[in-house]
Structure 1
Amino acid sequence: MALHLALDLHGATLGDLEALVSAARSAGAEDSSAIDVDTQNLTLSVRAHSPRRSAPEAAGQPHSGVGEAAVRSVIDILTGRQEPPRR
């Protein structure tokens, strides 16, 4: 299963970009994953092809849901229901 994450660059903040990168990594994107930039629509996107699993999860132990929480957080930020984390 592939997951496609995109960020509208109109008014995007560094926090928005950090949230996109965090969600992509949680969803299984590798550091070598290609980033697509659509200059016509000013969007940045990345695809994650399969979630990363640690050895205990691969052995059948239930996962913590951190990846799902990260994706939901990004969705909330991008839809305006939540403010991005500030440092």
Structure 2
Amino acid sequence: MWQRVLAIILIIIGLLMAVLGVVSEQDTTIRLVGALLLLVGIVWLYRQPSAKKSHSGDIPPLRWYQSPIVWIPIIGIILFLISLAL
């Protein structure tokens, strides 16, 4: 469990370093290190063993209103409307 979380954190840190590397004088080095961390995090996450589902029948399927596919655009629209008001 914690190995997956650490791999995702490593991916996020690598992505931020690769994208935000232009704010320093040594942007090429920071971007390369960020890309390397991103790659290591992706490989580490990919090599994690799959989670064993011992109680797969106990978990009900998600309803349509619980899906992130529905809520992410709604949150984006709300944030857009708030930014227009400010």
TM class by shorter chain equals: 0.3 to 0.5
Q: Give the structure with the higher percent strand.
A: 1
Q: Give the structure with the higher percent helix.
A: 2
Normalised by the size of structure 2, how large is the TM-score? 0.40
Between 1 and 2, higher relative CO (CA 8 Å, sep ≥ 6) is seen in: 1
Normalised by the size of structure 1, how large is the TM-score? 0.40
